[in-house]
Structure formats: C-alpha cells, structure tokens
Structure 1
Amino acid sequence: LERISVVHFDHRLRGEESRKDALFVRSMAEKLELPFLLGSDDVLTHQKTQRVSLEMAARSCRHCFFQSCLAECGAQGIALGHTANDQAEEIFLRLFRGTGPSGLAGMAPRTPRGIIRPMLFLTRGEILAYLAARDISYREDASNLSNTFWRNVVRNRVIPVVEKEFYPAVVSTLCRTAQLAMDEESYWAQLMEQYWQTVQCQKTRTFISLRLHEFKNLHPALQRRLLRHAIALLKGDTYRIEAVHVEDALQLAIHSSSGRRRRLPGALHVLKEGHVLVISTESPDDAGDEPSEMVVPEPGIYRFGSVHLEFSLVEQPALDEMGEMGKSRECAFLDAGKISWPLTVRCWRAGDRFQPLGMKGSKKLQDYFVDARVPLRERRRIPLVCDREKICWIVGYRLDERVRITGETRTVLAVEKTGR
C-alpha cells in the first residue's frame, strides 16, 4: 500500500452532502495511513461557460483532476470504482443513443490515459456483500437515486424491470457481450494499423488528413474505424463521438463535393478538400497565426510562428556525414553559392511559382500543393525559404532546382526545421 494514494473529487453540486463525502474518504485514507488528495471545481460554472450537459461538465472537471493527480504523484494509473452494473448501464445507454460494434465493448478495463477499472468484473451486489461481511462502512452518492440523468433512469428503472420481467442475468450477459466485443476490437485494431499508413496523408498538432482515393476503396466497416482512430489521435479520445457522427463524416468523405464540411462534438471540424479529408481541431475559417514574413540576415536559429529554422553553412565534404539527415523532409541542403543574402521566410502568396527539383520548367505553387494533396488550411502555414523573392525551399516538401547541389558546389547551406 506504500505506493497507493487516495484521491477524491468534490463537484460542489450537493452542498453539505458533498463535504461529508470528502470527509469520509479523508478519514478512510487516514485510517489506512495513505496519502490523500482532494480536488474540487465549480461544475455548474464550467457547464455554462462550455455549454455542455451537467454530466459532461462533471466528467471533464473530474478527469482533469485525475490527470493532475497522476502527474503530482508520479503514478502509473488512476483506479476507478466502476462495476459490472456500471458496464451494463453504459452499454444500454450506447445502444439507446446508437452505437457501432466498437461501442458494445463498453468501458475499457485500462485506457491509454492511465485510467484502470479493477472492479469492472464484480457486480454491485458482490461488492456490497463483501463490505457487509467485513462490517466496512461506506457512503452512497444520494444523487444516484435521482432520475434526472439518463444513466440513473437506466440504473433505477430499466435494468430492474428487465431483470424482473425478462432476463435476470442481463448484467452478466451484457458484460460478456462487452468482453467479446473487446476481443473483436483488438483484432480490428491490428488490421486497421495496416491500412492507417496507407490512408493517412498528413498529421500535425491541429489536424489529420486522409487520402480519399485509398480510403474509398476500403470496406465501410474499416472506413468507420479509421475515422474513429483519426478522431482519437487528434482529440485524445472519442468521448461524445457517437455512431451518427462517424456516419456523418463518412457520408461527407464518400458522397459530398469538395469544400463541404461538418462539425462534430468536441469542437472538431471535418472538411473535404479535393481528394483529401481533413479532420481538425480548428475551424477551416481560421487564418492561422503564422507571421507574414521574416528576414534572415545571416546563419543562425530563427523562429517563424511555431516553427524554428536553423540555417548553417557547411563545406561540401561534410555532406557525407549528414547523408541520413538529408533524407528527412525536415532538413534540406542548398548550394550556398547560388543564394543571395539576406534570405526571407514567408508564407504562400497568390501567383507564387518555383521550379521543382528535377523538373525543367516552373510550376505554380498552388498547382504543386494540389498535386501533393496538401490541405488548403495547411498551405497557409508552410514556411517558404526565399531569396530576392524567389523560392529556394518549400519547407518540408520540395527544393527549387536552381539551388540544388552539384559537383561544383563548394559551400552548402543546411536548413533544418524543428517544431510543428
């Protein structure tokens, strides 16, 4: 028990009863000589400012506290008290809202964010019997008796009626269904990973884009899972993302014309751009926060928005040692003798042209972005390294032919990108 801490969160929703709950948990922790962490937040204010349901506001505040506890204690996980009954209630709710096969898996025994549920395979009755046999006192949240929330309606009315009038073993049956669904999802997750690398076009901190040509050739069941996977990667979870939302995004990807968009719960935006589907945490109308232009008078490290660019001059023989580095899209080597200082770093402008490395003629930058399937919102953020208003390098993408290294190159300009 030396490595266990006890945490309790007060939602400030039940006045004196909430305070007594916290005191009870603190007293229990003291008897067991365990560290105790108490958190609280104004859930009602959070609900109003975020414009979400009371249940969602409470969950958000609670889980935010849990994550802070993980960091403060250096713990590997937060153990919650969900039981088999809670699992059955969750599956009922998901069925009523509309869920796919993945939703039937219910609550996971362990999540990537450190949540574990060690009592998920015990019924509420078994736990109460254990406490009674050992004369262990406990407190029950009085709000559980109120049918204000749908979850309580399922707990207090729906399941008891099903147990009494239809099928007494409904809780264990639903939990068994959840376990089977978890096994199925484990297989699907392995299969999905194989296709993810094929359909993913680009991933940044704020968006993920998918190649629609490859995506459309897949089975709808796999398409839905890939969409949920993209959302989970971007958002951190799929909370509040229901089957209807995934289906809406799927219909947009398959049947809608370019430029159409949808908004999903959790401030997510889905936009179809030509042959690319973009899922983003920012509105497609956001202009971004990159500066319009930056002067680079000499070698050094410069910040351009959220990106750092390091400019350094090296003699050609050093290229042999940097061969592996040169294969990265985050680094480029230019013939310094063909470049005029000072350099500038700027964003895309209408009418920009360059000569892609390996090509004979010039090309509009807009056409290059279209051919490379770069989402419109991302084009405005890609830094362009230029000299005398001519593009030298589209950072992360393509060099201009005129600055390529040849056998006559004596000095090399290495440009490396770090950051978003």
Structure 2
Amino acid sequence: MRDHDPVESRVRSFIERHELLKGIDHLLVAVSGGPDSVALLHLLHRLKNSLSLACISVLHFDHELRGEESCKDAAFVRTMAENLQLPFILGRENVAAYRESHGLSLEMAARVCRHRFFQEALGACGARCIALGHTANDQAEEILLRLFRGTGPAGLAAMPPRSKGGLIRPILFLTRREVLTYLRVHGLPHREDASNFTASCRRNVLRNEVLPLVEKHFHGSVVPVLCRCARLALDEEDFWSREVERGWKRVEDGRSPSRISLRLSDFLGMHPALQRRLIRHAIALLKGDRYGLEAVHVEAVLQLVRQSTSGRRVTLPGAMQAFKEGGSVAIEVETPNGMPVNVPETLVREPGIAFFGTLRFRFSLEERQVCEAGGKFRTERMSAFLDAEKVLWPVTVRHWKPGDRFQPFGMKGSKKLQDFLVDAGIPRRVRGEIPLVCDREKICWVVGHRIDERVKVAEETRKVLCIETRWE
C-alpha cells in the first residue's frame, strides 16, 4: 500500500472540485521533461486508480529548437513513459521555420505548433482531454505579462483549470517550490532547459528577475496572492458571461463565417463594461480564440463606434478589421481577394438538425394552433415560419448563385436576389455568404432577411415548418 502523500491528496481534491476528469477514462499528459510536467505525470500515474482512469498516454512535442538537447529531452520522456508502462506519442516540427513563414514571435509559433499537435493527438487517440503542467508560478507570470500588455479585467482571470480544446491544468495551484520539493522527496529526475535561465523572452525576465525582487522587497507570497486574484477574476467572468449572452441577443445584427455585425442603436445604450465584453465576444467568435487580443484593440473599436463616421477601419489581430457601416459596426476576417468563405451546399431530406458550415439549422413541423398558442410567430432574423404544405422537399441550404430570383414577402412579383440584397443595403463583399433555404423549385428563405411570399403562413395554413438557426 502506498504511503499517503499530502500533495497527491491536494491534487485529487483540486481535480474533483473542478470536475476536470468527469467522464474521462483516457487521459493524455503533455510532458516536456521539465520539473512541472514530470511531477504532473508522476502524480496522475499514482492517482490513476482513484481517478478511475483506464489509460494514461504520454505526449511529447519536439520544437526542434535546441539541437541535440531536444533529442535528449524526447529520449528522456520516452524512457520515463516506458518505465511507467504508458503509451508514448512523439510529435515534432521545425518551429523556427514556422515562425519565419508566418511572421510570429518564437513563443507564439511554438504554442501554435504544439497545440496543433495536441489536437491531432486527441483525434488519433479518440481521447477528449490533455493535462498540462502549468503551476501557480506560471499563472502569476501570465497575470503580470497581461497587466504589462494593458489587459482589461477579463484578462486577469489568466489560465483557468479547464480550457477549450480539452485542456486541463491539474497542478495549477501548486507553486514551483512545492513541485521541486515533491520531485526531491520521490527521487524523480527531470530535464532542465538552459534557455529558461536567459533573458531571451519577457516571461524569463519575469521569472528570474522581477518576481524574486517582488518577493524580497514587497510580498513574500506574491505568487499565491496573484493566483487568488485570478480566481476572483474567473468568478467575475462567470457572471459576465451570462450578461454577455443576454446582451448579445440584443445587438447581433447578422453573422456569416467571416463577418459579424452589431446593431449600434442598442449597443451605444449599453454600459461601457458590457460594450467591451461584447466586442471581445464578437472577435472570439470569428477568430476562434482571444489570443493576441489586448485592451488597446478593444478600445480602438470603441473609439471607432463612438466617434468615427462610416468608412474608417481598425486593424485587429488575426487578419481582422472593424468598421462602421450604416447603423452597425462590422468585424470581419480579411479573406483572400475579398472572396467569401466557401461552404458546400447541404441537402436536408426531412425535418431535423442540419449544419451548413458552422450554422446549425433545426427544421420542425408544428400545427399552426400550437405555434400561435406558444407565441412562436415572433419576429427574429434567424428564425422563419413557413407554410409546410407549400415547401417541396427535399430542402437545400446553399449560397447565392448567378441568376437567383425569389418573390420577397409582401411583393407581388419576383425579383433578382442580387437586386434585393443591393436594395437592402447588404455590402457586396458579404452577399455571397448569406445562406439560402431552397426547396425543389424556389428560394424559400434568404436567411436573416426575408422569406418568399409563396411560402408565407396564411389564414388557410394548417401546418407550419419552423426553421431555427444558431451559430455553433
């Protein structure tokens, strides 16, 4: 029977409190060979049975930045996995070349390549979770880096115990001193990266110079104090996420795979704190994350909204830009040659759930009386209610094609779709991204804009085709 270890008990408690491994039986553990990741792997291996893990696999990514030392790191981690009788998965990429070709900092290029490997490993293993060895010291460093870059309140939450992409941080609460003590007590060897002790990047300067000075002259427990700040900020963000969700329903004025518009009439009446979070939310939806987004970018968009006339543009991270356009502010991904994102058409043979790119469609049939009693006939841009008997199945969701015509609701004759979009003030660069719901003979709904007169719900309608959409 193994001796009781207080660190192991604390790690297990942290994992259970944050439900980091709920429903997980196969866990991947990212191991660089450094002290933090070695301690992480050892802890999880010892806790494997109590955490109900069926399998642990070891991941190692070679950035090909340190020559022979990188090879020795990989060999060290492979041997450690073999000694623990755990599967070993090795990935490698020339990060320096990637950095050069993509114009990134070395730290950012390494992160992109490493995380791409992580996601590929999840898919190859059929797993859903990767454990990372970030500690309380890493958290403190991250908070200070964000502060020095001018982060807003949301940035103070820094790294959460669980992130998108299946990433978890089981030892985020442990200080580096506690990690080193654990390694010494258990006699665990580890690798040291000599570059971590040079002033080659800002994080190293913080780690080796700034934090020791702060601990000596200001607060001996600065790391736990900064981590407590992050926990409080994370709670605040949980509250704000609900406010953002409510506010988003009021201001969203259209969305495509490469563009989001916010309605200024509602946006300008909101509190500045909510405005900032809505801008961050819009950028994250398009970009997929908030990495590289700083307070200065958000403030530039706010200034654009409040003071500028239509036409001026603000450049944002990730090849994005924001600009005012009529009564909206648009945030857009710059696509090559201004071409829209190409999404293959989707055939829908019967009511149910269907996807067109990242746009989710729900087709359902309801009795008219049920719809009326439930208040479903509301005016929402991303929902449509059609006379089910006038829709000829199967239904296709697609983009605009040359020569498309339809009969806009309220009109007696047909009209070219292009002319309708021009008259509606839809910018040329996004017209080709608007989804169309079509039956065998006609366009039934220009999503977000207008249904066809021929499929409207009339007095004689008995059954209604309800189409509800949302972006995933």
TM-score, shorter chain, exceeding 0.5:
yes
Shift of 1:225: 0.8
Structural mapping, 1:6-405, within 5 Å: 6-283=58-335, 286-288=338-340, 306-308=344-346, 329=383, 346-347=400-401, 356-358=408-410, 365-366=420-421, 368-370=423-425, 374=426, 376-382=428-434, 394=446, 397-401=449-453
**What's the counterpart of residue 27 of structure 2?**
none
Q: CA separation of 1:6/1:346 partners in 2, compared to 1, >3 Å: closer, same or farther? A: closer
Q: CA separation of 1:155/1:333 partners in 2, compared to 1, >3 Å: closer, same or farther? A: same
CA distance in 2, matches of 1:35, 1:150: 35
CA distance in 2, matches of 1:67, 1:42: 18
* Conserved? CA contact 1:335–1:405, under 8 Å: no
* Conserved? CA contact 2:256–2:433, under 8 Å: no
Q: CA separation of 1:240/1:311 partners in 2, compared to 1, >3 Å: closer, same or farther? A: same
**Which amino acid letter does the alignment assign opposite residue 306 of structure 1?**
P
Shift of 1:261: 1.8
Ranges in structure 2 where 5+ consecutive residues have no aligned partner: 1-47, 49-53, 351-363, 392-398
CA distance in 2, matches of 1:310, 1:184: 42
CA distance in 1, matches of 2:384, 2:455: 17
CA distance in 2, matches of 1:111, 1:224: 22
Greater Cα offset, 252-261 or 1-10: 252-261
CA distance in 2, matches of 1:128, 1:79: 19
**Which amino acid letter does the alignment assign opposite residue 378 of structure 1?**
V
Q: TM-score, normalised by structure 2?
A: 0.71
Shift of 1:202: 2.4
Q: CA separation of 1:280/1:135 partners in 2, compared to 1, >3 Å: closer, same or farther? A: same
CA distance in 1, matches of 2:254, 2:78: 48
Greater Cα offset, 76-85 or 274-283: 274-283
* Conserved? CA contact 2:400–2:432, under 8 Å: no
**Which amino acid letter does the alignment assign opposite residue 178 of structure 2?**
E
Q: TM-score, normalised by structure 1?
A: 0.79
**What's the counterpart of residue 33 of structure 2?**
none
Greater Cα offset, 225-234 or 33-42: 225-234
Q: CA separation of 1:192/1:16 partners in 2, compared to 1, >3 Å: closer, same or farther? A: same
* Conserved? CA contact 1:47–1:53, under 8 Å: yes
CA distance in 2, matches of 1:251, 1:284: 27
**Which amino acid letter does the alignment assign opposite residue 166 of structure 2?**
G
CA distance in 1, matches of 2:57, 2:390: 59
Greater Cα offset, 144-153 or 249-258: 249-258
* RMSD of aligned alpha carbons: 3.8
Shift of 1:354: 7.5
Tell me, what secondary structure is at the counterpart of 2:163? Answer: coil
CA distance in 2, matches of 1:243, 1:81: 28
**What's the counterpart of residue 341 of structure 1?**
none
Shift of 1:165: 2.1
Shift of 1:170: 1.2
Shift of 1:17: 0.6
Q: CA separation of 1:355/1:178 partners in 2, compared to 1, >3 Å: closer, same or farther? A: same
Aligned length in residues: 383
**What's the counterpart of residue 316 of structure 1?**
none
Post-superposition Cα deviations, 1:33-73, rounded to whole Å, max 9, x if no partner, equal 11111111010111011111111000000011111111122
CA distance in 1, matches of 2:190, 2:168: 21
* Conserved? CA contact 2:335–2:341, under 8 Å: no
**What's the counterpart of residue 294 of structure 1?**
none
**Which amino acid letter does the alignment assign opposite residue 107 of structure 2?**
E
Identity of aligned residues (%): 54
**Which amino acid letter does the alignment assign opposite residue 109 of structure 1?**
P
